[in-house]
Amino acid sequence: MTLNSAKDIHLIFHAVHKQLRVHGGAGEFHWSTEARGEGDFADQKRNNGNTPVGRYWCGEPVPIPALDRDGKKFGPWFIPLQPEKGVATGRSGLGIHGGGSDLSSPRAEFQGWETTHGCIRLQNFDVERLAKSLAYTTRTGGAALLTVDWTLGPWAPGTLGYMSAVPRVTPKQVNAASGKKTPSR
C-alpha cells in the first residue's frame, strides 16, 4: 500500500520556517499553521534536542485532561510519533502537542511558545484541529505520515518534504508500537 488514499494525511513540518503543512494522501494542500521544533539543544541526536529530521508515522491522538499531571506540558492533546527505521536514533517519546509548563496559560487556545524536548509544539487551537483530522483518518482506515525537514529549500515533488508514495502504517499500528506512552515533555 502507498500513502495516496483520500483517507490519508501527509504532514510536513518545515522547522526552519516554523510551519506545519497538512496535505491529503494524494498531495493536495489542506491547511497550514505555525509550529515549533526547537529543543534545549540544536543537536537532533541529543536528548532534549531539536525535533529530528526524517519521517514518522502519526498515532491516534491521546486526549490529556486539564487536571492530568501532563495537562500543562502537553495541552489538550498528545499525538505520538513512530519514527521510520534509522530516524531519531536514541530518541523516544516524540510527538506533536500544545501546552507549555512555564507559560502563563498553557491550556489557552493560543498559549504562546516554549521549547520542547524534541516534540513539535503547536498552539492548542491548532493541535485540537489536527487531532480531529487524525481521529477521522483513524476511523476511516487511513494513515498519517509526518515529514520533518530542517532545510531552507522549497517543497517540490522528489524532495524530502514531498513524499506521497511510501509504505503505509495506520495510526492504530503506531499506538500499538509506542504503547501510547506519554513522554516527559
pLDDT reported for residue 91: 83
Give residue-wise pLDDT tens across range 42-62.
777 777 788 999 999 999 999
CA triple 163-116-56, angle to 5 deg:
20
pLDDT reported for residue 87: 78
Mean pLDDT of the chain: 82
Confidence of residue 156 (pLDDT cuts 50, 70, 90): very low
Lowest mean pLDDT among 5-14, 32-41, 127-136, 150-159: 150-159
Rounded to whole angstroms, the maximal C-alpha distance in the chain is 45
- State the CB neighbour count (10 A cutoff) for residue 119: 26
- State the pTM of this model: 0.81
Confidence of residue 125 (pLDDT cuts 50, 70, 90): very high
**84, HSE (Cβ side, Cα atoms, 13 Å):** 13
Sign of CA dihedral 114, 117, 118, 119: negative
What the chain holds in terms of domains, given with CATH numbers, is 9-178 (2.40.440)
User: 3-state class of 132 per DSSP?
Assistant: helix
Query: With left for phi above 0 and alpha for psi between -120 and 50, is residue 109 left, alpha or beta?
Result: alpha
**H or E element that contains 13:** strand 9-14
Query: In terms of Cα–Cα distance, which of 123, 174, 183, 124 is closest to 146?
Result: 174
Burial zone of 59 (CB within 10 Å; 0-12 exposed, 13-18 middle, 19+ buried):
buried
Cell 491521546, residue located: 62
